[in-house]
Structures are given as structure tokens and as C-alpha cells.
Amino acid sequence: EAGVTQFPSHSVIEKGQTVTLRCDPISGHDNLYWYRRVMGKEIKFLLHFVKESKQDESGMPNNRFLAERTGGTYSTLKVQPAELEDSGVYFCASSRAQGSHEQYFGPGTRLTVT
Amino acid sequence: GNSVTQMEGPVTLSEEAFLTINCTYTATGYPSLFWYVQYPGEGLQLLLKATKADDKGSNKGFEATYRKETTSFHLEKGSVQVSDSAVYFCAFSSWGKLQFGAGTQVVVTP
């Protein structure tokens, strides 16, 4: 069974540009999560999809961030326009169910905004 | 509000030494507790979990016990190996989403 994959692994962009991160969850996992770790701090929740619907987007920092999951398969997270403070590692995770069920994480996308 | 506090790193140990990483949490109710590990160049992996008070999670020689009275979930391993060098994250589950600590980097030297 393939794990969670993320693309790209690393992105370097200038302030004001747009970047789109992609996450492919494990096949059959309805739940998809985005998290972010900024500058060695704690990993923070961004949002949660159940299939194609946003279940919880309370962690999205502002309206420069847009997440989609069309068709309930892969998800994209777009940052537009990017700011310096958006630099960090963006993790995607998926799970078959919510609650205490294990979330399987991808390797992350390291975003550097200069 | 909800939070996880874990000891700051880096923690540097010699091979076969005893490892403890302290973790305390603040949460409503009785959440499930987790330790995740990130090895160099890899994604986060679930190391162990405990879903109710006094449960002990264990895996790969690591153990942690869910202590409701002290709201703690300390990670321990009796004899570390160089391959245990990684960043360890304590977390709990709240309404499906994970709340993480800042991570503790562990470096094990031969």
C-alpha cells in the first residue's frame, strides 16, 4: 500500500509569489489533514477534509491560504501571495477514520519564502 | 487552551543510555495520546499511542504511560541505539485533529 505522498519536497519562492502544494493520501482514506511546522516550533493543525468537504478549517492562518480536495482524492494547498512568515514544513496526513485512529503522514513540503 | 509541553532538545546521549522525554498536556476531557517520530529525511511516523488512563503504549523498545492525574505521557527507552536519533513529538487527539508539542531532537552517539 502506497503511503501519503507530497509534492514538491522543497519549494523556494519570493515574497508575493504563489505556490501550490499537493498531497495524495492513502487510497481509501476519507480523512485528510494539513499541518504546518514553522521554524522548529510545534506542528500546528491547519484543516481537515472528510472526502471533499472541509470538516474543520479553524487552523488556517488567513485568507491567503486556500485548500481544496476536488473529488475527495488528492488535495492542494495554495498560498497566494506568499509572505516570509509562511516559510516552514507543510505536512499532509490521512486516516481511514477520525478520533484515535492513526493518522499517516507524508514526508512534508519544505517551503522557503525569501 | 489546549497545549502540549515537551522538553526542549537537543538531547545528546551515548549508545545504550537511558532516554526519557517528558511530555505534559492541557486538554479538555480524556484525549488519546501519541508519540510520533521523524527520522532524518522522512515523514512523521506513529511510534506509540494510549487511548485511556493507565494505558501503556509500547513499540521498538519505547514505552509511555497515560497518567491522567499528572496529565503526562513521558516517553522512555532503556537502551538507545544510534538508529534512534530523530525528532520525537508528543501529541493528543482533539476532535480528530492532532495537537503537537514542539518536538525534541535526540542525538545518539556511538
- Sort A64 into a burial class: Cβ within 10 Å, 0-12 / 13-18 / 19+: middle
Q: Do A98 and B32 touch (CB under 8 A)?
A: no
Is it the case that residue A87 has pLDDT exceeding 60? Answer: yes
Compute mean pLDDT per 10 residues along chain B, 110 residues long, and list them: 89 97 92 94 91 94 96 97 96 89 96
Closest residue of chain B to A5, computed from CA coordinates: B43
Determine which of A1-5, A7-11, A77-81 has the lowest per-residue pLDDT on average. A1-5
A40 reaches B (C-beta below 8 A): yes
Peptide bond before residue B110 is cis, with ω within 30 degrees of 0: no
Burial annotation B50-69 (CB, 10 A radius, 16+ → b, else e): beeeeeebeeeebbbbbeee
Which residues of chain B neighbour A31 with C-beta distances below 8 Å? Answer: 96
Residue showing cell 481537515: A48
What span, in angstroms and rounded, lies between the C-alpha atoms of A90 and A36? 4
Tens of pLDDT, residues A29-85: 999 999 999 987 889 999 999 999 999 999 999 999 999 998 889 999 999 999 999
Across the interface, which of A42, A91, A100 has its CB nearest the CB of B93?
Answer: A100
Is it the case that residue A15 has pLDDT exceeding 70? Answer: yes
